[in-house]
Structure 1
Amino acid sequence: MRLHRLELTAFGPYPKREVVDFDALGADGLFLLHGDTGAGKTTLLDAVAFALFGAVPGAREEAKRLRCDYAPPEVGTEVAVELTVQGHRLRIVRSPEYLRPKKRGGGTTKQQARASLDWLSTPPSGYSREPLTRIDEVARTVGRLLGMSKEQFFQVVLLPQGEFARFLRADTAEREKLLERLFGTEHFGSVEQWFRERRTEHKRAVDAASQGVRELVARVAQAAGEEPPENLEPDRPADERWLAELVRRRQQATRAAEAEHQRAEADRDRAETELARLRALAERVNRVRSARTELAELAERADQRAAWQEELAAAQAAAPVVAADAAVRQAADQLRRAEQIEAAARRDLVAAGAGDTADDVVARLRERAGQAREQAGELARLVTEETQQHRDRARIGELDRAERQLAERATALDAAAAELAERVERTRRELAEADRAGAVLDGLAARRAELAEALADAQALPAAQRALAEAETAHHASVDAHQQARENLLDLRQRRLAGMAAELAGTLSAGAPCPVCGSAEHPAPAQAGAEAVSEAAERTAERAEATAQQRRDAAAQALHQASQRQETLLARLAGRTEHDLRTALAAAVAEHERAAASAARRDELTRLLAELTARGETLAGQRRGVDQDAASARTERDTLRARAAEREQLLDQARAGHPDVASRRAHLLDLVAAWERLAETRADRELARRRHAEQEQALAEVVAEAGFTDVAEALAAARPDSVRDKLATQIRDADVREATARRVLAEPELAGVDPDQVVDLELATAAVATARNVADVAVAGLEGARRREREVAALADRLRAAWAELAPIEAAHAELDALTDVVIGKGQNAERMSLRSYVLASRLEEVAEAASQRLGRMSQGRYSFVHSVEAGPRGTRGGLGLDVLDDYSGRVRPAKTLSGGESFLASLSLALGLADVVAAETGGALLDTLFVDEGFGTLDADTLDVVMDTLDELRAGGRVVGLVSHVEELRQRIPVRLRVRKSRTGSTLQLTSG
């Protein structure tokens, strides 16, 4: 993969469009990216990462702040990169998600993320020349071409020295996390988890099968009615013998139960036969005894049966007389009721004013009723006219009241219209004033904001001046402290070099070769002088100088910021004092608030004016409606008055002394009803008198025909229907009982039966019950024995099958259990390394070998990496140990004991080695462009030469290496440089060479 061009707009600290031409920068194979701290050097690497993957490395991704704070709102944030990967040149453009001001109105809106990929050369197989515009499609294509994830790319292309220094000193757990992220060994962890899950599943299956065997053993013993044996195992012959013996005992128990059942059945049959014979004999004796008893009782009651027959005959003869006498009484009652009704009707007619009509016949009464009905019919039409007369008079009164109310309504509407006209005029004046205030409101607001900012600047100026003075003092002090620390370091380093022979002599021992000349003899070892300096003292001085440098840089940065702050405030104030600004701001605030209050009422006043205008039109319409209603009311009232006067003369004649026509008509109708009712009741009375005479004649004839002397005798002999039915039933029942008893005694099978014979059934019944109980018990015992035999046989077959199934399951689980222990680093795994740790250890070993080659060259053969597979303390897993072999001493040292410069060399070697291994591991694109971010400030001149030689080897192989650093010496060594300039309004880029 080779980068050609990078374009970024409003990204990070860059507010404008910036272009990085990597072809020009990498023409010599090596270029420098330098600038002040915080200027935006690392942001260029973030831009490359964002263009490719839509994300930036490390903690900066969590902040989600990629847009430049200094960029104008109309400028969009965008990053574009051109690169060649696997022989295909393409251009990728991305924009992040961010908030931008709305184009209309206030507030902000979300700008959605975008991505596109254009092919600048022939696309790979399977792709068309059409550009890709979906974010997920672009991500998949970039990942497929690069052959690595974004985490791998951040590590092998953007070499972050700080992270590799931490990796170098990290413990096993931290190192394992980084290696997993780079080499993608998650699937090996999935394999370990798969084995654990399979072992757990197999263990559940074994437990379930074993539990099933135990349950079957318990069920077999329970079905057989015995206790199960202890510690039953499927591979023991004794257990099979136990099961076979159990089945045999159940079969023997069934045969014994069958024999007992047959004996009980025979005993029960004999007892039941004897009981049936005795019951038949007892039944014949009882029948003969009952028939003779019945005939004796009937003979004793012969006189009573004769009396019943005589009483029944007399009652049946008197029945017609009772019916005729009831008819006479009913006719007499009807006659009395008809006479009472006729008298009441006559009294009602007298009360209605018609006079006494006792002598009038029915025809005369009906004639009078007809005459009155005709008069009432003639008055019916006038009743309607009288009702209309009342309605017309009521309507005339309503119209008089309505005319007065309409006059009052017209007066009120005229007054409301005059008041509304005044409000309309006043509202129009207020609206014009609000329009004028709205026109000047923006200018007043801008003036107010400008004065408020100026006042804040004036108030902040004294603090800025004090901060500048303090920053100058701190900067002078930090410069002096750094110069003193630098001089002290140089002095100690020179003194140590002068005493290096004595330091080497201190490591000699008798018989051991000299690391310089190789001789095993040391005749005159150098002795340390009074001014000898140790390596620890030199490292302490280096750390002190580095700390002083950092403080000096921080002080210079603070001084620069304080100076810029003061200059900015003075430029904004332009000579105005705080008092002048405060006075002007108060006046601007008051004027702006008045204008805002007036302008704020514009919509309200516009709406109010429209409402008042509409209300005026409504009042005018209402006034016209009142005039129309008043004219209509007067016309209708005059017409009704003329019509009522004509109708009143006709109604006076029809009333004839009554309150109204309806009263007179109702009186006539009442007379009609009274005459007709009297005629009907008088006719009914005559009919009832004739019917009563006829019923009396019929009663005398019925008494004579029944043979009674008078009605009283016949009624005395009469009986109710229920009594006659009862007498007939008693007589019939006695006859049936006598006939039935005689038929029983005449039956052949009862001949010779002694009714006094005694038959004992209790003893025979008890014997049958006993025999039946014994038989039932035998049946239940036989069924239980057969059921237990069947259950034991079936469960025995199931138990043998379960034993046969359990054996291979347990064997398979034992094999899987041992294999799982090996995979997860237990059991027979002598290294105690899990599969994932083993894979990571092999990758780390490859990284250590690749990194050792570069570390050896950069340390002039002194250091190399050593990969350790030994377990750590307190059970820590092994395989991920990484130490350093010091060839000077021949001992393996922890990486934490390296100095700052040595740590940088080791970290850089480790990063380059890891880049080579990851690139080979992923099978992705060849990495032709690398970036090394910071770390050069800890190197002396000689070591820096060695590092530069190593980087030269990288570019000699066709790679382009970009160094990100602010070390001054690198500017002299690297001719092609890209400088990042930082200012108050953002950062810019400048390409220099030479």
Structure 2
Amino acid sequence: MRLHRLEVCAFGPYATRQTVDFDALGADGLFLLHGDTGAGKTTLLDAVAFALFGTVPGARADAKRLRCDLAEADLPTEVVLDLTVQGHRLRVARSPEYERPKRRGSGYTRQPAKASLTWLTPPPDGGRTEAVTRSDEVARVVERLLGMNAQQFFQVVLLPQGDFAKFLRSDTKERAELLERLFGTERFAAVEDWFRESRRKRHAELDRRRARVREWVARLAQAAGAEVPEQADRAWAAGLSARARAEVKTARAEEIAARAAWEEARERLHGHRTSAERIRRVRAAHERLGELKCTAPERSGWVSEAEAARRAATVAERATEVSSGEAHHDQVVGQESVAAAMCRELGFADVGLDVEELRERAGELREEAGGLTSLVELAQRQQADRRRIEILDEAVAYDEERIAVVQSKLDGLPEQVSELTRQRELAVDAVARLGGIRAREDELTALLDDVESLPELDGAVAAAREAEIAAVAAHNEARSALLDIRERRLAGMAAELAGELADGAACPVCGSESHPAPAIPTADAVSEEAERSAAEHEVTANRRREKARVARFEAEHRRDATAQRVAGRSSAELTAELADVRAERVKLADRAARSEALAAAVRAAKEEEQRLHSERAAHERSLSESRAERAVLIEAVEERARALDDARGEFPDVPARKDHLLALGAALERLADARMAVVVARRQRDERRRSVSEAAIRAGFATVDDALAAVRPPERIAELDALIREAADAEAAAAGVLAEPELAGVSPDDEVDLTSAEEAEREARARAETAVAAVRSCERTAADVAALVSEFETALDDLAPAEEEFAELDALTNVLGGQGQNARRMSLRSYVLAARLEEVAVAATSRLRSMSQGRYSFVHSDQESKLRVKGGHGLGLDVLDDYSGVIRSSKTLSGGESFIASLALALGLADVVAAETGGALLDTLFVDEGFGTLDGETLDVVMGVLDELRAGGRVVGLVSHVEELRQRIPTRLRVRKSRTGSVLVVGG
């Protein structure tokens, strides 16, 4: 991968569009990006990362604030990157999501994120040449071409500020998480999880099968009535089954004996019951015959009563018809009286006419009423028109009233609309001027704060200059002391080596085992610890010097920028002008706040005026129509009233006269019908009276009253017949019983002992039933025991292979998890990560030895950690110090040593990750900061290693504010910081 060109616009501190030509910068293979603190050096690396993956490294990704606050509102925030990957050149453009001021009105609108990828050369595999415009698809194309994701890219290509040293200083858990992200070893953790989950499921299945065995044991013991043993096996189950079968055999023998005894008792009881029944029947027959002899006179009366009731039944029926005829005659006579009264009420006094005359008079009245039908309809129309006139009178009065009300409202509306319009125009003008007056207020407030802070800033500049002078002097003293100590230690190095010689051991310099004249330490000899302490003191003094220089520059920059903004204006002038501006702002804000309300009031007034005009026109149309219709109706009503007055006569109106004529005709018809019904009813009544007298004589009764006295209801006759029949049947039945052959010789005075026989039979039956129940219980128990033994043995057969399978899976899962037979106590995931870390340590050691002049090398440790950090076992990383031959913790390295160790480790990690992922050839590498911790000699060595990195065409970009690098690296890109945004200057 090689970068060609980068454009940033309104991104980070860059308010305008800035361009970085990587082809020009990387012509020598090494370039420097430098500038003031906070100017935006790291932002350029963030822009590269954002263009490729849509995110930035480290904690800056959490802020999600990439737009420049100083950029113009219409200037878009975007990053454009040209690069070549695997021989294909492409251009990636991205814009983050951000809020910009609305083009119309106040407030902000959200600008959505955008992304596009354009192929500048034919795409790989002959794919589509059109641009890719979906953000997620752009990220997938970039990851596929580079062969790594964003986290891997940040660790391999962009070595972010402070983050590439994080891997060296991190504990084993953090190191494991980083390695897992870089090498994608999640699948090995997934294998461990799969085995653990499988073991959990198999253990649950094993517990289920064991529970099933325990369940069958409990059920078997309960069914057999035995105690649950501590260890239930097949022999225990077989013993329970044999015992159950023996109990069945014993119960069956008892059942046979009990049944025989019960049968004998039943036969004896049957004989006693037969004899007792014969005696009872004889006694009952004698008793029944005696009772029937006593009731003979009563039975004779029942026969006479039944015969008389049957003869009187016909007479009773004729008498009922006579009563019905009498009631009907009385009813029709009453109806005739009612009809005659109705006719009198209707004004007809001559009710004594015969039937034919009444019917003739009713016909004449109906003809007269029919002649009034047309006039009735005319009268109904007259009433409807009069009601309509009343409605029209009310409508005319309402319309006249509403027209007056609406006109009174319309008279004052024009002046109101004009006044509201004038006030609305003033409010709109205030809204337009309010933004400018607020900006002026903010500007004057800031200038007033600047004027008040100038004395304090001058004091800060003086203090910063004094602190810088003191820090420079302290650093010079520390550096002189370090050089002096190093010269003295080099002079006494021979004595230091001689102090480590031992008889019989080879000299590390010449290899000789004899040491005739070892050097003797001088009085001013310096130890390694003294040299290290002096070096650390020099580094600390240099840091303080650099910090003091930066503080002085920032103090001067703040003071100069503030003085430039103030431009010589006094505090009193600014205060007076600010007071005037604030008063104007309050006035305009109050007027602008009413703008929307006034606009709504103007619209409402105009709408009200239009509505009132429409309402008045509608009422005027309605008034005209109502008046015209009323005049026509009044003329028609007056003409129709003259004809109806002649037709109604003495009645209120024509319908009333017609209704009277029809009602009188109907009453005369009813009177004629009633009078005819009276004649017919009288004739029928007389005929029925003669018929009932003749029927009584034929039935053998002297009078009708005698016949009616002998009448009985059908239920009584049926009851008498039943009593007579029952007495005869009872007498015949009793005689028949006594005549039966089997009762011959049986006396009603004989006795039989039935109680003793029944008691003996009940005891024998209870014994037999108990024996049968015992047999069935033993058989059920034996069957249940046999079935449960079979289920128990089946459960044992299922349990054995499950226990063997779980034991094997449990042992394998423990090995994969670092337990059991795993001698190293390392999980599969930790083992893979440790192997990757070992590769990284080997790759990083070659560069670390070069940068430390052969002193340090990385040592990978797979020993079990005392802290037992989850996921970090086997990921120890120490350094071997060749000066002392001791393996030390990487945390004991000094600041400069930590930087070169971290850089070597980051470069080694980059090599291994690139080889592991099979990614594209990485022709570009960035290192962000950290060079300020190196002394001049170490910086030379590190620069030599970086020179080796650019061999073969690789481009290395360094981000640093160290002054010495500006002298070493001719190709530079400087970032200048200002109030209006940072800018880029090549070679500046």
TM-score scaled by length of structure 2: 0.89
Q: C-alpha separation between the residues in 2 aligned to 1:142 and 1:172?
A: 31
Kept in 2, the 8 Å contact 1:4–1:21? The answer is yes
2:842 to 844, 849, 856: 849
More displaced, 345-354 or 957-966? 345-354
1:492 to 462, 481, 485: 481
Q: Return closer, same or farther for 1:572/1:962 CA change in 2, 3 Å cut-off.
A: farther
Residue equivalent to 1:894: 889
Kept in 2, the 8 Å contact 1:147–1:925? The answer is yes
Question: What's the offset of the Cα at 1:930?
Answer: 1.1
Residue equivalent to 1:319: 313
Residue equivalent to 2:455: 466
Residue equivalent to 2:929: 934
Q: Return closer, same or farther for 1:356/1:88 CA change in 2, 3 Å cut-off.
A: closer
Deviation by residue 1:551-578 (Cα, 9 ceiling, x = unmatched): 4313422331332133134399999744
Kept in 2, the 8 Å contact 1:978–1:992? The answer is yes
Residue equivalent to 2:466: 477
Structure 1 residues 872-911: aligned runs within 5 Å: 872-875=865-868, 878-911=873-906
Q: C-alpha separation between the residues in 2 aligned to 1:390 and 1:15?
A: 92
Deviation by residue 1:411-455 (Cα, 9 ceiling, x = unmatched): 8737854762663366357547756875x5576345534542443
Residue equivalent to 2:188: 188
Q: C-alpha separation between the residues in 1 aligned to 2:193 and 2:526?
A: 64
Question: What's the offset of the Cα at 1:675?
Answer: 5.4
Kept in 2, the 8 Å contact 1:458–1:578? The answer is no
Tell whether 2:19 aligns with 1:46: no
What SS class does the counterpart of residue 983 from structure 1 fall into? Answer: coil
Residue equivalent to 2:248: 254
Question: What's the offset of the Cα at 1:510?
Answer: 6.6
Amino acid at match of 1:814: A
Tell whether 2:563 aligns with 1:566: yes
More displaced, 594-603 or 50-59? 594-603
Residue equivalent to 1:917: 912
Q: Return closer, same or farther for 1:946/1:699 CA change in 2, 3 Å cut-off.
A: closer
Q: Return closer, same or farther for 1:759/1:567 CA change in 2, 3 Å cut-off.
A: same
Q: Return closer, same or farther for 1:273/1:501 CA change in 2, 3 Å cut-off.
A: same
Q: C-alpha separation between the residues in 2 aligned to 1:754 and 1:879?
A: 119
Q: C-alpha separation between the residues in 2 aligned to 1:549 and 1:854?
A: 28
1:263 to 246, 257, 267: 257
Residue equivalent to 1:235: none
Q: C-alpha separation between the residues in 1 aligned to 2:158 and 2:462?
A: 39
Question: What's the offset of the Cα at 1:914?
Answer: 1.6
Deviation by residue 1:868-912 (Cα, 9 ceiling, x = unmatched): 233344555652222222222222222222222222221111111
What SS class does the counterpart of residue 768 from structure 1 fall into? Answer: helix
Question: What's the offset of the Cα at 1:987?
Answer: 1.9
Question: What's the offset of the Cα at 1:57?
Answer: 0.8
Question: What's the offset of the Cα at 1:530?
Answer: 12
1:962 to 927, 949, 957: 957
Q: C-alpha separation between the residues in 1 aligned to 2:705 and 2:396?
A: 94
Kept in 1, the 8 Å contact 2:430–2:591? The answer is no
Q: How many residues in Structure 1 have an aligned counterpart in Structure 2? A: 978
What SS class does the counterpart of residue 99 from structure 1 fall into? Answer: strand
Deviation by residue 1:731-765 (Cα, 9 ceiling, x = unmatched): 12222223333444444555555554434443343
Tell whether 2:808 aligns with 1:811: no
Tell whether 2:235 aligns with 1:241: yes
Kept in 2, the 8 Å contact 1:82–1:90? The answer is yes
Kept in 2, the 8 Å contact 1:868–1:878? The answer is no
Question: What's the offset of the Cα at 1:845?
Answer: 2.2
Q: C-alpha separation between the residues in 2 aligned to 1:463 and 1:784?
A: 110
Q: C-alpha separation between the residues in 2 aligned to 1:835 and 1:79?
A: 43
What SS class does the counterpart of residue 826 from structure 2 fall into? Answer: coil
Kept in 2, the 8 Å contact 1:445–1:592? The answer is yes
CA RMSD, aligned part only? Answer: 3.8
Tell whether 2:140 aligns with 1:136: no
Kept in 2, the 8 Å contact 1:492–1:533? The answer is no
Kept in 2, the 8 Å contact 1:458–1:573? The answer is no
Q: C-alpha separation between the residues in 2 aligned to 1:268 and 1:584?
A: 127
Q: C-alpha separation between the residues in 2 aligned to 1:589 and 1:166?
A: 55
Residue equivalent to 1:946: 941
2:790 to 766, 779, 797: 797
Deviation by residue 1:802-842 (Cα, 9 ceiling, x = unmatched): 33332333233233333333322223333332222222222
Q: Return closer, same or farther for 1:895/1:637 CA change in 2, 3 Å cut-off.
A: same
Amino acid at match of 1:424: P
Deviation by residue 1:235-286 (Cα, 9 ceiling, x = unmatched): xxxx443333222222222222233333333333343344444444444444
Amino acid at match of 2:983: T
Deviation by residue 1:13-44 (Cα, 9 ceiling, x = unmatched): 22333332222222222111111111111112
Residue equivalent to 1:294: 288
Kept in 1, the 8 Å contact 2:292–2:727? The answer is yes
Question: What's the offset of the Cα at 1:936?
Answer: 1.0
Q: C-alpha separation between the residues in 2 aligned to 1:719 and 1:167?
A: 127
Structure 1 residues 826-837: aligned runs within 5 Å: 826-837=819-830
Question: What's the offset of the Cα at 1:58?
Answer: 0.5
Q: Return closer, same or farther for 1:951/1:716 CA change in 2, 3 Å cut-off.
A: closer
What SS class does the counterpart of residue 601 from structure 1 fall into? Answer: helix
Deviation by residue 1:331-376 (Cα, 9 ceiling, x = unmatched): 5555556666656666666676655766x55555555555556555
Amino acid at match of 2:260: A
Q: C-alpha separation between the residues in 2 aligned to 1:816 and 1:390?
A: 107
Kept in 2, the 8 Å contact 1:77–1:95? The answer is yes
Tell whether 2:765 aligns with 1:776: no
TM-score scaled by length of structure 1: 0.88
What SS class does the counterpart of residue 9 from structure 2 fall into? Answer: strand
Question: What's the offset of the Cα at 1:944?
Answer: 1.1
Q: Return closer, same or farther for 1:294/1:499 CA change in 2, 3 Å cut-off.
A: same
Q: C-alpha separation between the residues in 2 aligned to 1:394 and 1:821?
A: 106
Residue equivalent to 1:32: 32
Kept in 2, the 8 Å contact 1:365–1:675? The answer is yes
Question: What's the offset of the Cα at 1:85?
Answer: 2.8
2:779 to 778, 783, 786: 786
Amino acid at match of 1:132: V
Question: What's the offset of the Cα at 1:483?
Answer: 1.8
Tell whether 2:299 aligns with 1:305: yes
Q: Return closer, same or farther for 1:571/1:612 CA change in 2, 3 Å cut-off.
A: farther
Q: Return closer, same or farther for 1:507/1:555 CA change in 2, 3 Å cut-off.
A: farther
Q: C-alpha separation between the residues in 1 aligned to 2:366 and 2:763?
A: 103
- The unaligned stretches of length 5 or more in structure 1 are 233-238
Q: C-alpha separation between the residues in 1 aligned to 2:148 and 2:276?
A: 112
Q: C-alpha separation between the residues in 1 aligned to 2:396 and 2:337?
A: 65
What SS class does the counterpart of residue 583 from structure 2 fall into? Answer: helix
Amino acid at match of 1:641: E
Q: C-alpha separation between the residues in 1 aligned to 2:952 and 2:284?
A: 139
Question: What's the offset of the Cα at 1:964?
Answer: 1.0
Q: C-alpha separation between the residues in 2 aligned to 1:303 and 1:407?
A: 106
Kept in 2, the 8 Å contact 1:457–1:573? The answer is no
Structure 1 residues 611-650: aligned runs within 5 Å: 611-613=608-610, 615-616=612-613, 618-620=615-617, 622-645=619-642, 647-648=644-645, 650=646
Q: Return closer, same or farther for 1:874/1:716 CA change in 2, 3 Å cut-off.
A: closer
Q: C-alpha separation between the residues in 1 aligned to 2:878 and 2:43?
A: 33
Q: Return closer, same or farther for 1:795/1:73 CA change in 2, 3 Å cut-off.
A: same
Question: What's the offset of the Cα at 1:948?
Answer: 1.2
Q: Return closer, same or farther for 1:941/1:533 CA change in 2, 3 Å cut-off.
A: same
Kept in 2, the 8 Å contact 1:464–1:566? The answer is no
Q: Return closer, same or farther for 1:443/1:633 CA change in 2, 3 Å cut-off.
A: same
Structure 1 residues 746-761: aligned runs within 5 Å: 746-761=739-754
Deviation by residue 1:366-420 (Cα, 9 ceiling, x = unmatched): 5555555655555666666666666667777777x56xx8489558737854762
Question: What's the offset of the Cα at 1:155?
Answer: 0.9
What SS class does the counterpart of residue 4 from structure 1 fall into? Answer: strand
Kept in 2, the 8 Å contact 1:502–1:525? The answer is no
Amino acid at match of 1:155: Q
Q: Return closer, same or farther for 1:526/1:164 CA change in 2, 3 Å cut-off.
A: farther
Question: What's the offset of the Cα at 1:937?
Answer: 1.1
